[in-house]
Amino acid sequence: MSRRARIINPPQDLKRRALSATKGLNLELTPQELAKIETAVHKSKDKFVSQVAEKLKALRTTHHDVEKNPDLVGAYLAQLRDESLAVKGLAGTFGFHLITTMATSLNDYVLKRSEAGAKQLIVIRLHIDMLYVLLSRAQQPHGGMRAETEGELLASFKILTAKYT
Amino acid sequence: MPAEIDLGNVRFLLVDPSPISMELTWDVLMMMGARAVRKCQNTDRAIEALRSTPCDIVIAEWNTTPMNGLQFIDYIRTSPQSPNRLLPILLMTARSEQEYVLQARDRGITEFLAKPFNVEGFYKRLVSIIAFPRPFIDADTYFGPDRRRRADQGYSGPERRVIAAQ
């Protein structure tokens, strides 16, 4: 027979130490406080762009190796899963929403994949190339694209990934 | 109730395998006034850190090694070796689909933050952890913060935990 759930009151020590009437941030951030904290995000933006560029460069090299030696595909897919998830999780914080969307598309494509043939590798390669293009235009609003182009691009990748599952 | 939060009095532990992601979270916390923030790139280091120095809030990425985020939560919540089973855990992940949120909730996370995050959302999770701590539930199949965030005032049946509180 299952026992009755026990309820444990939460410790109050942290609350006592951290809540203050005079020092710290408002429970609801003011616009000034928010703007100040966001400078930390802006500070890391350039670093993010250069690190992702390095990652994409490494992926292109591995991709080239996999095309010559299909035995490497398993490790490559694992690498793609990790890298695309990391880019998906960070790009939007810096305001690069289109990069997050493209990395999400790549991550979804490789998430449960254990093999990739020639056609699937082309789909992967197109994602990497597109991420490169978007990254090079990252500082421009909407990746330097008109909203319609952005929509068409995303729709094209949706069709592409659905066709070559 | 005091209306400000001084993160200078809060000890954080960050667990994230990605240096850029870890650095971003660290920078944001520092800008919010935190001073004691330890960084670990894997869960082995994180466990060592938890055992050696007191910590108030763990901020962990799901995609960690050698334990993944869920296994790390299990360690904190259920392991006999856990230094503090009541430790608040904020889990951050780009795996934001509902199935992942539910899995994390049912393992006993305190707060969940989908990535990419914004500063305001991140801060709100910290406020929730610090200013509005929830009771813990110790049941046969679950140990963690109460998953019921809204009290149902109209409920009058048996086994409603808010009524059974001791």
Check: pTM over 0.90? Answer yes or no.
Answer: no
pLDDT digits (tens, 9 = 90+) for B139-153: 989 999 998 876 666
> What residues of chain A lie within 8 A of the CB of B33, using their CB?
24-25
The full set of domains in chain B, from first to last, is 8-150 (3.40.50.2300)
Q: Are A130 and A137 in contact (CB under 8 A)?
A: no
The full set of domains in chain A, from first to last, is 29-163 (1.20.120)
pLDDT digits (tens, 9 = 90+) for A14-43: 999 999 878 899 999 999 999 999 998 998
At residue A8, what is the residue type?
Answer: I
Q: Average pLDDT of B100-118?
A: 95
Burial class (CB in 10 A: 0-12, 13-18, 19+), A1: exposed
Size of the A and B interface in Cβ pairs below 8 Å? 166
What are the phi and psi torsion angles at B42 (to 5°)? -145, 170
Distances from the Cα of B122 to the Cαs of A21, A93, B125, in angstroms?
22, 11, 5
pLDDT digits (tens, 9 = 90+) for B51-105: 999 999 999 999 999 999 999 999 999 999 999 999 999 999 998 889 999 999 9
Q: Are A99 and A48 in contact (CB under 8 A)?
A: no
CB within 8 Å of chain B, chain A residues 35-94:
36-41, 43-44, 47-48, 51, 82, 85-86, 88-94
pLDDT digits (tens, 9 = 90+) for A41-99: 998 898 899 999 999 999 999 999 999 999 999 999 999 999 999 999 999 999 998 99
